[in-house]
């Protein structure tokens, strides 16, 4: 009997299992890199990260809301202000989290200073609705329960990380003091130091979580710059077991559309959204030909005396569904085994393996 074992491999970006996207506010990259007001960013994050030297907002986008919309949809839908959803709502379903929902991929937005008891459509106190792009889409806000279940208070993130209960896509927005937006009435009069202190408290909790350690990725960016350099360069920092890291600096030109294109590549959702179709992904920040514990493979083939062919699936994601298919000719494939992974490995037995001359195997992980 002849047996052929086929490996199931993916690109580096699609090896990313969980995304944490943190959006900060209103600082040029030149005002951050090397700034003593940002010691955590400069002495801890950057040495372990990959980052961009030429990351910009899309041309002609003044203010916060247009840039947040671009991160979610690849367009600002003609909006050039930062008014609350009472002034702007969009019926379009062509935006990232709806593509994720349609593909059964989980998502959450963690917003600092919301109650979690309603769909947070109005700016109040240190919460800015215009830093929460999801509340501008009618397919989210028309269902209050759906909105509330996906847009949660930031303080819930810590427990979700500990309990390995975070979604696969996590969009995180600090409040107006913690995102470097304000200085008046905040912990210190130095808005960059306030944001750096927040990052120093939030990021280590993500780094320590099972979701991050199982090929997660943290993306930290800013909505825009300030002054005449409003469009940038602004910061984009990536920390991940799959990233090049070690302070690697990419000098390619990117925009927020590049981040959106990257998210679509990570999660395998299409069609490309508006300007994401024209953008270059952030793949340069990641290693190529990654061989990691999460690289999905079929290994350890064995044919014991009982005639039952066995092998081991490795690189599984706990909680995700896996399907093993068999084929007599590499053209026709038939499902043979489906399971929900309980750990990163699982055994497979083909009890009919001794009844065929030749059989091929492959397996895939469902979204």
**Same structural domain, 278 and 299:** no
**Same structural domain, 7 and 40:** no
Which CATH number is 340's domain given? Answer: 2.60.40
Which CATH number is 144's domain given? Answer: 3.40.720.10
Instruction: Name the domain count of the chain.
Output: 2
Tell me which of 253, 285, 317 is where a domain ends.
285
pLDDT tens across 298-311, in order? Answer: 777 777 767 678 87
Tell me which of 268, 285, 302 is where a domain ends.
285
Domain residues for the domain of 79 are: 18-285
Task: State the pLDDT confidence band at 14, using cuts at 50, 70 and 90.
Answer: confident
Decide if pLDDT at 289 tops 60: no
Tell me which of 285, 318, 333 is where a domain ends.
285
Decide if pLDDT at 252 tops 50: yes
Decide if pLDDT at 271 tops 80: yes
Higher pLDDT, 327 or 270: 270
Task: State the pLDDT confidence band at 192, using cuts at 50, 70 and 90.
Answer: very high
pLDDT tens across 95-127, in order? Answer: 999 999 999 999 999 999 999 999 999 999 999
**Same structural domain, 42 and 70:** yes
Decide if pLDDT at 340 tops 70: yes
Task: State the pLDDT confidence band at 7, using cuts at 50, 70 and 90.
Answer: very low
Instruction: Output the pLDDT for position 348.
Output: 80
**Same structural domain, 29 and 158:** yes
**Same structural domain, 167 and 275:** yes
pLDDT tens across 29-80, in order? Answer: 999 999 999 999 999 999 999 999 999 999 888 889 999 999 999 999 999 9
Percent of the chain with pLDDT over 90: 71
**Same structural domain, 181 and 309:** no
Beta pairing partners, 253: 54
**Same structural domain, 45 and 166:** yes
Instruction: Output the pLDDT for position 293.
Output: 44
**Same structural domain, 220 and 318:** no
pLDDT tens across 198-232, in order? Answer: 999 999 999 999 999 999 999 999 999 987 766 88
């Amino acid at each position: 009997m002849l047996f052929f074992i086929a490996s199931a491999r993916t690109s580096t970006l699609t090896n990313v299992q969980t995304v944490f996207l943190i959006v900060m506010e209103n600082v040029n990259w030149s005002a951050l890199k090397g700034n003593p007001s940002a010691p955590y960013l400069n002495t801890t994050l950057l040495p372990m990260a990959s980052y961009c030297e030429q990351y910009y907002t899309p041309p002609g986008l003044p203010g916060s809301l247009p840039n947040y919309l671009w991160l979610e949809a690849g367009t600002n839908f003609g909006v050039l202000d930062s008014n609350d959803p009472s002034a702007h709502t969009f019926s379009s379903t062509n935006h990232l989290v709806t593509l994720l929902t349609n593909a059964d991929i989980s998502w959450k937005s963690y917003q600092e200073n919301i109650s979690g008891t309603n769909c947070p459509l109005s700016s109040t106190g240190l919460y800015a609705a215009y830093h929460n792009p999801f509340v501008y889409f009618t397919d989210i806000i028309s269902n209050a329960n759906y909105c509330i279940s996906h847009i949660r208070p930031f303080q819930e993130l810590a427990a979700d990380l500990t309990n390995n209960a975070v979604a696969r896509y996590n969009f995180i927005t600090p409040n107006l003091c913690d995102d470097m937006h304000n200085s008046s009435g905040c912990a210190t009069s130095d808005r960059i130091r306030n944001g750096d202190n927040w990052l120093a408290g939030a990021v280590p909790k993500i780094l320590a979580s099972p979701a991050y350690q199982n090929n997660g990725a943290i993306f930290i960016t800013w909505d825009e710059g300030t002054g005449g350099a409003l469009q940038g360069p602004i910061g984009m920092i990536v920390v991940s077991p799959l990233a090049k890291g070690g302070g690697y600096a990419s000098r390619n030109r990117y925009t927020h559309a590049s981040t959106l294109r990257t998210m679509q590549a990570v999660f395998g959702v299409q069609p490309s959204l508006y300007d994401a179709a024209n953008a270059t992904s952030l793949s340069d920040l990641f290693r190529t030909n990654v061989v990691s514990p999460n690289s999905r493979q079929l290994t350890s083939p064995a044919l014991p005396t009982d005639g039952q062919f066995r092998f081991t699936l490795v690189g599984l994601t706990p909680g995700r569904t896996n399907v093993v298919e068999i084929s007599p000719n590499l053209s026709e494939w038939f499902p043979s085994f489906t399971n929900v992974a309980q750990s990163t490995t699982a055994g497979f037995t083909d009890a009919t393996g001794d009844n065929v001359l030749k059989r091929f195997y492959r397996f895939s992980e469902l979204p």
